[in-house]
Structure 1
Amino acid sequence: MFKPKESFTVWLAGMQWLFFIFTNTVMVPLSIGHALGLAPEDIASSMQRSFILTGVLCIVQAVWGHRYALMDGPAGVWWGLVLSICASAPAMGMDVGTVAASLSSGFILSSAIVIVLALSGFLNVLKRIFTPMVMGVFLLLLTFQLANTFFQGMIGYDQGGKWDLKMAALSLFIIIVVALIHLKGKGKWGQFSLLGGIIIGWTLYAILFGSSSRMGTAGGSNGIWHWLPWGTPGFEPGIIMVGLLAGLVNMTNTLTSLTAAGRLFKREATNKQFVRSILFTNGFSILAGCLGLIPFGTFASSIGFLENTKVLRRAALIAGSMMFIIVGIFPALGGWLSTLPLSVGNAVLFVAYLQMFGTAIRSFQGTTFNAKTIYRVALPVLTGISIMNIPASAFAEFPPLLTPILSNGLIIGVILAIILENLVRWELFETKAAEPKAAESKDHAMKPAAQA
């Protein structure tokens, strides 16, 4: 049993987790629903299902799965893939209904195959491929991708390429507040910098801009549990193949997240933890495919959140997940939480994810870099960032089913890192670079003796 003071701290940390989970989840069913042309009441129902299943999965993972305080939710890889395929549907000669039905098949089949691979020992192969260098590249690119997204959101950057200076000023103030609470907060209060930033920022936003909902949908639909709401699963070979690739990428995301978490929690994840995590994530993903939701994944971005808050207790995540389930059950609560301004949430998360940069850099510790070996990091990272900054319209001439992969800087950067790590013997370049330095040191050591 928790002591009263300890229990209060856990629930306060849980509230912080609640906002983190909500901010990372709410836009997924909303954007997917609009892309598929779903009715507002169907989008609202899918939001409630997404909230409930995400909360339940986080608890299951914390108690029986990987047993770390890591968020599991709608996978970003799948989210981007679905939106890209929906946008490319006309070019592929398919209507949205056909795409949705094939996506459901892709979700279910991909998740089932990943489960089989995990039980067959494929994780050992992935561990050999995903060296610390590859994981460092993955985390760096993920940091750049998230920071760019949240930076645009917190300054009110619109499609016309203009800033909202008033909103940007408020976001800057929120960043300063979060940083001051984190750096100057005494005792445990420094752990609640993100929660403090949300409360202060939300209050100031209401004073300066008034209150407004950013979701644009309301709950209150009659029943939220609809089996196969996207129709009977179809079979479009191209979509299925791309889905299988996304499933493998999502599997590597779990590997990266748990490996980074092992360093943070100072207890390395065992093979059983990896397998249990993948089983639960993909088991829920199969259920998600049957309920009109995208597959789940372990959020590597949780590492940045944990680095910032220093609240590593699973009890805090469980408390936040329980609150999130309640939000999903009662639409009125979801409606209230949806009034959290997008710019405020983005400003707070921008600060949280800065810590991921440090986690990525620490992955390179012990590696010698020189004029030649720097390519093993610089080439995949800078290539990935360059692709991230190319407009989606530039990939219009590419084959529609390859566009989601080729236009994803994170995936291309990680693939390049894997190729470089497996085709180039970097230790040879490290040795050659070190030899002149050793010779030079020897010459310096001999000079005093000669002078004597």
Structure 2
Amino acid sequence: MSKLSSSTTLLASVQWFFFIFANTVVVPISIGDAFQLSSDQIIMTIRSSFFLTGIACILQAWIGHRYPLLEGHSGMWWGLILSLCTSASSVGMTYVELGGSLALGIFLAGIITIIVGAFNLVPLLQKIFTPMVMSIYLFLLTIQLILIFFKGMLKLTPNGSLDISVSTFSIGLVILVSIISIKGKGIFSNFAILIGMIVGWIFYVWLFPSNPSVNYTNFHFSIFPWGKPHLQMGIAITACLAGILNASNTIASLKASESLHGIKTHSKQYRFSFTVTGIFTCLGAMFGLVPYAPFTSTIGFLESTKILSKKPFIISGGLFALLGVIAPLGAFFSTLPVAVGNAVLFVAYLQLFGTALRSIQSYSFNSRTIYRIAFPVLIGVSLMNMSPNVFKNISFYVRPLISNGLLTGILISILLERLIKWSKYE
């Protein structure tokens, strides 16, 4: 890998910064809204998220897995928590009761993750999360993220119809970034994501002027904003199971990084990565944050930018942590239009689909073995497109798992791999 020049390192750091920001800021806001937190509490969780995410990224790149991989709020956990919030009222549970039991459940999941790293239980997990299971995970994660970003870049009016002007702008931005990524030469192709973010932000403000009011000056420190921790057995079991399945993020991310960087990931890297993730998951439980995990989707970003150096990533982690410390900075960057961020990330994550396709190139499928991939992927996608309300007659403690297409798809794939000897049918 050739050494980057100072100017390239600077631009790459800024590009990484925008990537981390766009992937992070919406999570604490949506969770705070789901738990009906006060504006001061939401501000606290946003700043905590910025600071902890930045530090987590630095530690993973330095002493964890040592790859430039975003360590952020797990999409799997994000969907699970939002699903639980949607269902809470239907079973007579207040948000404080749900939040308190979830906080304890997430803390326990973090402890389990630390134990996996500390006692080298990674080989056991690798037997469960086989290469085919990881391929299923990559396909479902790609589809889930693309659905999220596609919906996010298409703005809706108050009556639920499409805002044509903003939506057209977002589609135009997608086309622009795609053209730069495909046809751009040298530095233009490498920085297509950064160009899209900055150009999109400037033109969005010019075309759709508004006066966003974000006040970061009042900061009231508190822990467990979701509610005081208490044991609710059903929630605790669901959280621990989700924590184990969340390990698929780490295994898939590090496995994909091996191919991208052309190096072998050692056992020590897996162990340290799980330990760092577990520690920050426990810290996140205290500050009302979604649990952490290495972002497999970062592989798509790296394939788009073609810049694999760790130095810009570590610098961007430090810059991002500053957003949680310096209030005016956090206030300014929080005005990045949601439609712009989603449109650019939509293009960045298209590359992840290619990673998923390459992961199954060594397999051959026929009329029987196609069930190995088609069943979990298509069931998962079907569930992603169903409203959580469809499952309201199912037990509250099972509902979050069944209604989550990513989790269900992974579970089905694990069962198929354990119960059927597919080599007999190839």
Structure 2 residue 408 is the aligned partner of structure 1 residue 412? yes
> Which ranges in structure 2 are unaligned for 5 or more consecutive residues?
none
Match of 1:191 in 2: 190
Change in Cα spacing, 1:346 to 1:245, as seen in structure 2 (3 Å) is same
Q: Within 2, Cα distance between the matches of 1:35 and 1:416?
A: 29
Q: Within 2, Cα distance between the matches of 1:179 and 1:94?
A: 46
Q: Within 2, Cα distance between the matches of 1:230 and 1:75?
A: 18
Give the residue type in structure 2 aligned to 1:221: N
Shift of 1:366: 1.7
Aligned residues between the structures: 425
Q: Within 1, Cα distance between the matches of 2:158 and 2:411?
A: 31
SS in 2 for 1:43: helix
Q: Within 2, Cα distance between the matches of 1:119 and 1:329?
A: 31
Change in Cα spacing, 1:212 to 1:367, as seen in structure 2 (3 Å) is farther
The equivalent position to 2:255 in structure 1, one of 250, 254, 259, is 259
Asked whether the 8 Å contact 1:10–1:319 carries over to 2, the reply is: no
SS in 2 for 1:297: strand
Deviations 1:368-410 (Å, cap 9, x if unpaired)?
1122211111111111111111112111111112111100111
Match of 1:200 in 2: 199
Match of 1:171 in 2: 170
Change in Cα spacing, 1:138 to 1:12, as seen in structure 2 (3 Å) is same
Asked whether the 8 Å contact 2:103–2:288 carries over to 1, the reply is: yes
Shift of 1:85: 1.9
Structure 2 residue 298 is the aligned partner of structure 1 residue 302? yes
Give the residue type in structure 1 aligned to 2:217: G
Deviations 1:292-340 (Å, cap 9, x if unpaired)?
3232111111111111111111111112111111222122212211211
The equivalent position to 2:217 in structure 1, one of 215, 220, 240, is 220
Match of 1:323 in 2: 319
Deviations 1:85-137 (Å, cap 9, x if unpaired)?
22222233322222222122112112112222333333112212222221111
Structure 2 residue 336 is the aligned partner of structure 1 residue 337? no
Asked whether the 8 Å contact 2:382–2:405 carries over to 1, the reply is: yes
Match of 2:119 in 1: 120
Structure 2 residue 71 is the aligned partner of structure 1 residue 72? yes
Asked whether the 8 Å contact 2:80–2:404 carries over to 1, the reply is: no
Q: Within 2, Cα distance between the matches of 1:90 and 1:147?
A: 29
Q: Within 1, Cα distance between the matches of 2:160 and 2:266?
A: 47
SS in 1 for 2:293: strand
Q: Within 2, Cα distance between the matches of 1:323 and 1:161?
A: 38
Shift of 1:186: 2.5
Q: Within 2, Cα distance between the matches of 1:382 and 1:304?
A: 22
Asked whether the 8 Å contact 1:41–1:217 carries over to 2, the reply is: no
Change in Cα spacing, 1:133 to 1:254, as seen in structure 2 (3 Å) is same
Q: Within 2, Cα distance between the matches of 1:97 and 1:168?
A: 37
Give the residue type in structure 1 aligned to 2:382: S
Asked whether the 8 Å contact 1:40–1:217 carries over to 2, the reply is: no
Q: Within 1, Cα distance between the matches of 2:161 and 2:223?
A: 43
Match of 2:151 in 1: 152
Shift of 1:240: 0.8
SS in 2 for 1:398: coil
Q: Within 2, Cα distance between the matches of 1:374 and 1:158?
A: 42
Match of 1:272 in 2: 268
The equivalent position to 2:389 in structure 1, one of 369, 388, 393, is 393
> Which ranges in structure 1 are unaligned for 5 or more consecutive residues?
431-452
Asked whether the 8 Å contact 1:156–1:163 carries over to 2, the reply is: yes
Shift of 1:244: 0.4
Shift of 1:233: 1.7
Asked whether the 8 Å contact 2:76–2:406 carries over to 1, the reply is: no
Shift of 1:222: 3.9
Match of 1:439 in 2: none
Change in Cα spacing, 1:322 to 1:43, as seen in structure 2 (3 Å) is same
Give the residue type in structure 2 aligned to 1:147: I
SS in 1 for 2:46: helix
Asked whether the 8 Å contact 2:118–2:271 carries over to 1, the reply is: yes
Q: Within 1, Cα distance between the matches of 2:288 and 2:209?
A: 34
Asked whether the 8 Å contact 2:22–2:341 carries over to 1, the reply is: yes
What TM-score results when the alignment is normalised by the length of structure 2? 0.95
Match of 1:42 in 2: 41
Give the residue type in structure 2 aligned to 1:400: F
Give the residue type in structure 2 aligned to 1:206: V
Q: Percent identity?
A: 43
Shift of 1:160: 5.5
What TM-score results when the alignment is normalised by the length of structure 1? 0.90
Shift of 1:228: 3.6
Match of 1:83 in 2: 82
Shift of 1:25: 1.0
Deviations 1:260-288 (Å, cap 9, x if unpaired)?
11111111211111110010111111122
SS in 1 for 2:274: helix
